[in-house]
Structures are given as C-alpha cells and as structure tokens.
Amino acid sequence: MMRSLLEIRRSADLGRTCKGPLVGIHHFSFAGFQDPRWIEWGLLRAVHRYRLTAGGEREPAHYAGFDVLTLVESGRLIRTGNFEQREALVKGSAEVVQAGSGALIGERAGRAEDAIFTEIWLKSSNAAAARRSYLASPGASIRTTVASDQASGSALRLTSPATVERIMFQPGERRAVVNSDHRRSYIVILSGSGRLQGEVIQSGDAAALLGSLSDFDADEPSELLVVHC
C-alpha cells in the first residue's frame, strides 16, 4: 500500500463557540468559525466536540441530508426533538440519526455531571424519512465500528458510504490505520498522544489523510476516532 499524504491540524487552530450551556470545538467551517480551506473533507461535513453543562439543553435544530453520528465520551446525554426519549446515551454509547429529508435533533445533559460528546455529520443522498439507531457499548475499552454494509441487527447503520471507527491503543502499541475503500480519512485524537507517520499528535489534535495507510504509535493510552470518507 502507498503511504498517505498527511496534514496535522492542531487543537489550537480549530474553531470554538460558546452558546449558553454548550461549548463547542469545530473542525470544519461552522457558525462563527469560517475557514475556506476546511469546509468539508470528502463525505465528512462536520466534526463537533461539545461540552454541555450538567442539566443544560441545546434546543432542537433542523438537520437534512446528513447521517448524524453521536459518540458520548462522558456524562449522560438525553435526546430531544423528533427522537425524544427517556433513556440516556451514556459513556461509550453511540447513536446514528439518518436525517434524510429532515429531522429535529437536540439534547440535554444529565443533572449529575457535564456531558462531553462528539457529533459527526456525513453527507448522504438519502431522502427518506428520518430514522434512529442506537448502540450501547459502555466502557472506554470497547471498539466501535460504524459501517453502511454491516448486516447485524444491532449495528449502527449509515446511509452515507463512509465508515467510522473508534480505536483504542495501549502505551507502546503501534498499529496501521488502514483505509482500503476510500482515499480520504480524518483522524481525531480523543485522548492520549503518540506519533502519526512520525508526527507528534496529542489529545484534541486531528489529521487529514489522502491515501490508504498510516501508522500510529501510542505514547500513552489513546483513543482515536477515524472517519474513512
């Protein structure tokens, strides 16, 4: 396999917003953060990392033409809008809303602690009615793969032809991040640190790749979010 062309994106260079109880970090142009170089990356339109104050709520907003993937890193998150529910998304759980022709999506945090979560928007041509799927995988050591071609009834389903992986690394572990189906990948370091193709990369940083292969060497326990798009 050919090595990937790599561009590191430092946490300090990403966009930031604060609206009431919600604080966000944005990898692509959004709201007050506009960067013409980073509007999208292949099928990937947005990566938002949010902290929602305990008991706080983000009012439902209208989404259309995207699959919206939510990964909860800590706290409890309760969905509101078209998919309002009492069951909370907890640490390690994941949800996909196929927004299709349109859906209202909002959330509120549990009262005990702040909720930290990552929201990913993947472009989709799906025009059907909105649907939701949910996968509970508590425990930070769980590896979650989200793919459009998974047949399991318990799997999260995308209408977008993209794949998303949450990958755990132990200190000193070296592993190839392989992209066999797409030329583009986007890697977010959720926690930890290491080297990606020899480049030092830390929690909060990200990397955009063109190509099929990249190695990550973990310096400490690390969690990566990898979008093949």
Q: Which of these, 179, 177, 184, 225, lies nearest to 43 by C-alpha position?
A: 184
Report residues of the chain scoring pLDDT below 50.
Answer: 1-3, 138-154
Distance between terminal CA atoms of the chain? Answer: 18
pLDDT at residue number 140: 36
pLDDT at residue number 5: 84
pLDDT at residue number 127: 81
pLDDT at residue number 160: 85
Distances (CA, A) of 167 to 8, 140, 172, 223: 19, 10, 15, 6
pLDDT at residue number 136: 67
Q: Side by side, which strands form the sheet with 222-228?
A: 5-9, 206-210, 184-191, 222-228, 163-169, 144-147
User: Please, which residues have CB within 8 angstroms of residue 152's CB and are 6 or more apart in sequence?
Assistant: none
| Per-residue pLDDT reduced to its tens digit, 65-112 | 999 999 999 999 999 999 887 789 998 888 889 999 999 999 999 999
Q: Which of these, 177, 200, 204, 201, lies nearest to 190 by C-alpha position?
A: 204
pLDDT at residue number 137: 59
pLDDT at residue number 92: 84
Sequence spans of domains, the chain: 5-228
- The pTM assigned to this predicted structure is 0.89
Q: How many Cα neighbours within 13 Å face the side chain of 189? A: 27
Q: Which CATH architecture has domain 5-228?
A: Sandwich (2.60)
pLDDT at residue number 4: 58
